[in-house]
């Protein structure tokens, strides 16, 4: 028949009218039955098209009332946080990981808090790894790991496997939380990233849970001048 599936054509029918300004935020969209009459598709096809536009944030629906153009399409735009090693290789560059420290250690208070430990009586696994892009340091990965989740963490060869890959292998991921902020580099970070002390650093804090318990807390320090997060949001 046609290149695109019917439900995609219905979605385009809607988004075209939103993009052109014919249907403005808050305006009522055709009902499912009206799509059946106007476009000659089945209600289930219209339902799928509208439902997918809801999950995409383009429309919002109220049972019994109707379907409406979402008020704030720009309210929540997604930005992707990815894997540094994969990012570097995707750019066609050379990635090298240098473990600076791999040890068992008592977690400082603010780290222990992420693991739900009141007083830090428990030793956690701790690794500091510097990731290089074409021999320039790009990220310092300061990670604390729950030994019960990854008991062999200290024996992993982190020049070949990233901590994230190892954790994914030993335990399925359940929940990830990110916090992104700008901070000034401290002395160690500045040295590892080969930049001036107090220079701006893009810090990503990543906490992961697996099987109901905290698995890992990582601070990913990026040289502000060499790193950026990108996101594109369409329609």
Interacting residue ranges for DNA, rule: CB under 7 A: 1, 5-8, 29, 31-34, 40-45, 47, 50-51, 54, 61-67
32 binds, among DNA, a copy of itself, none (CB under 5 to 8 A by kind): DNA
- Backbone angles phi and psi of 26, in degrees to 5: 95, -20
42 binds, among DNA, a copy of itself, none (CB under 5 to 8 A by kind): DNA
**Considering beta carbons, is residue 50 or 220 the nearer one to DNA?**
50
Binding flag, residue 200, a copy of itself (CB under 8 A)? yes
CA atoms within 13 A on the CB side of 106: 6
> How far, in Å, CA of 216 to CA of 228, rounded?
23
> Are the CB atoms for 221 and 139 separated by under 8 Å?
yes
Give the nearest distance from C-beta 230 to a copy of itself in angstroms: 6
Give the count of beta carbons closer than 10 Å to the beta carbon of residue 70.
18
Which of these, 132, 219, 233, lies nearest to 179 by C-alpha position? 219
**Considering beta carbons, is residue 44 or 81 the nearer one to DNA?**
44
116 binds, among DNA, a copy of itself, none (CB under 5 to 8 A by kind): none
Binding flag, residue 164, a copy of itself (CB under 8 A)? yes
């Amino acid at each position: 028949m046609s290149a695109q599936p019917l439900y995609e054509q219905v979605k385009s029918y809607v988004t075209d009218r939103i993009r052109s300004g014919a249907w403005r935020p808050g305006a009522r969209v055709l009902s499912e039955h009206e799509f059946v009459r106007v476009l000659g598709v089945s209600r289930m096809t219209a339902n799928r098209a509208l439902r997918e536009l809801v999950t995409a944030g383009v429309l919002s629906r109220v049972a019994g009332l109707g379907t409406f153009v979402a008020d704030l399409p720009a309210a929540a735009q997604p930005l992707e946080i990815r894997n540094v090693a994969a990012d570097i290789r995707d750019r066609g560059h050379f990635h090298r990981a240098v473990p600076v420290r791999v040890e068992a250690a008592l977690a400082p208070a603010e780290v222990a808090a992420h693991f739900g430990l009141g007083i830090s009586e428990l030793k956690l696994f701790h690794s500091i790894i510097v990731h290089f892009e074409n021999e320039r340091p790009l990220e310092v990965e300061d990670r604390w790991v729950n030994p019960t989740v990854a008991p062999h963490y200290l024996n992993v060869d982190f020049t070949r496997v990233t901590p994230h890959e190892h954790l994914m292998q030993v335990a399925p991921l359940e929940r990830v939380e990110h916090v992104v902020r700008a901070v000034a580099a401290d002395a160690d970070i500045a040295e590892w990233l080969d930049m001036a002390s107090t220079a701006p650093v893009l810090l990503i804090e990543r906490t992961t849970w697996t099987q109901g318990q905290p698995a890992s807390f990582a601070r990913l320090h990026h040289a502000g001048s060499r790193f950026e997060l990108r996101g594109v949001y369409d329609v």
